[in-house]
Amino acid sequence: MDTELNNESDAELSELEDNNEEIPNQIEESADSEESADDIDFVIDREGVPDSTQEKSEKEKLLDEIFKDCPISFKEKKPKVKKIKKNSFIRQTLADLGFNDDGTLRSKPHHKQKKLLTKNQRDEVKKALKKSVITPEFEKLHVVPPLDISEKKLKEQRKKERSLTKGSKWYGLPATELTDEVKRDLEVLQMRSVLDPKHFYKKNDLKVLPKYFQVGKVMDSPLDYYNNRLTKKERKKTLVDELLADAEFNKYNKRKYKEIITEKQQTHYKAWRQAKRSENTDYKKSGFDRGHLAAAGNHKCSQKQVEQTFFLSNMAPQVGKGFNRDSWNRLEKHVRKLTRVYANVYCCTGPLYLPRKESDGKNYVRFEVIGANHVAVPTHFFKVVVGETAEGKLEMETYVMPNQVIDDNVPLTSFQVPPESIERAAGLLFFDNVARNKISKINGKKN
């Protein structure tokens, strides 16, 4: 092994000595030339170039002028020009003339060769060119043609168009819109065997409505002959007789009174609604409470009934402190306590507008109105209460209280009045189907 390594090292040393001998020989040859190394402007590698005896070409002359002041390096085996790469103009000029940066001629062109397209790539390019709207005579067209639609989009477009029709079996007719009226007609057609059992119809197995259908309509033919001459039997003497004989007129004339009133109310509902009701804004800053006629505490058995007691139709303007919150509230509690005494209790409550004697000795009915809707403020309120015992006996209590501040020390019995006075003032009859002689007590006194 040692002998082999020594032989290899001896061979390498001999090669280095040969190389070192070649470099000085080259320098000596260049020194023996017509000009010294200091006076040389440019050195070119002569491999692949004609002999020096021939005349210089135009490229060589141009190179001599460009690299006139450039220093030359002889350190490498082949002489190269220093600092050429730093000057882009010189480098580009060498490349245009067909030389490398070190001054040697190029065997291949500098520019890169274009890669050839594969077969698949060429096919894709052809397909793209087919869809392109730019043709050889594109500039002569007045309108730019649209791009070709892909097959996938074309299928989707055709499918959407088919969904708007009934299909080829229906000759491409437009699909019928399934409105509520058409839906009812189809349901009637499905039930025709039940509606007309005397006729035979093919049983319809479909329990759902068909997707495509066509509902026909009976149209009067314009060719039908119309005879305006009446026979003697059908001819009437006057217009009144003709109107009375008309079935539609008789039907309209035989309407009930309730139907006529309902139509009038619907016609003038807006004006009628505004004239017949009050609003919450009428009570705002009026100084009056929205007093209950049917007390909410009397209807605690049902939430719905409690909510209905808060309708404004169950309200009337009442003085708040001293009446609605005090004396009137005591009367409502007294009525609720009667349910513990009697098996059944019946109560009627309402407003009164009673006359008052003025300073001139005359009686006047005067009351205040509040709000934009002129809600009338009652002068008094009444309660008519009938209690039924377990034995079926009836007892009555009637009260009339003024709509004003009342002292709490005043007993409720001081506001009891005969029931006839309330009926006369209110214009109503209370429990008129019950004879008064069947009522055992009225205001605690035997009848």
Residue 267, helix vs strand vs coil: helix
β-pairing, 445-446 with 439-442?
A: antiparallel
Cβ pair 294, 314 in contact under 8 A: yes
pLDDT one digit per residue (tens) for the chain, 447 residues: 444 444 444 554 455 444 444 444 443 444 444 444 444 444 444 444 444 444 556 767 766 666 665 554 444 444 444 444 445 666 777 676 666 766 666 665 545 545 577 888 888 877 777 766 666 666 666 666 566 677 788 888 888 888 888 777 777 788 778 888 888 887 877 776 666 666 555 555 566 777 777 767 666 666 565 556 666 666 656 677 666 666 666 676 667 777 777 776 666 666 666 666 788 999 998 999 999 999 999 998 889 999 999 999 999 999 999 999 999 999 999 999 999 999 999 999 999 999 998 999 899 999 999 998 889 999 999 999 999 999 999 999 999 999 999 999 999 999 999 999 999 999 999 998 888 889 999 998 888
Angle, vertex CA 223, rays to CA 217 and CA 224, nearest 5: 80
Tokens at residue 287, please? Answer: 């100084």
Q: Is 292 a catalytic residue?
A: yes
Q: Give me the CATH code for the 291-446 domain, please.
A: 3.40.570.10
Q: What is the pTM of this model?
A: 0.41
Q: Which of 110, 292, 334, 374 is catalytic?
A: 292
Per-residue HEC secondary structure of 15-37 comes to HHHHHHHHHHHHHHHHHCCCCCC
Alpha-carbon gap, residue 396 to 346, rounded angstroms: 9
- Burial code (b: 16+ CB inside 10 Å, e: under 16) for 170-180 equals eeeeeeeeeee
**Amino acid identity for residue 22 in this structure:** E
How much is the pLDDT for 425? 93
Number of other residues whose CB lies within 10 A of the CB of residue 241: 11
Kindly write down the DSSP assignment for every residue of 333-391, as one continuous string. Answer: HHHHHGGGTSSEEEEEEEEE---EE-TTS-EE----EETTTTEE--SEEEEEEEEE-TT
Residue limits of CATH 3.40.570.10 in the chain: 291-446
Angle, vertex CA 375, rays to CA 369 and CA 379, nearest 5: 60
Angle, vertex CA 113, rays to CA 110 and CA 114, nearest 5: 145
How much is the pLDDT for 193? 64
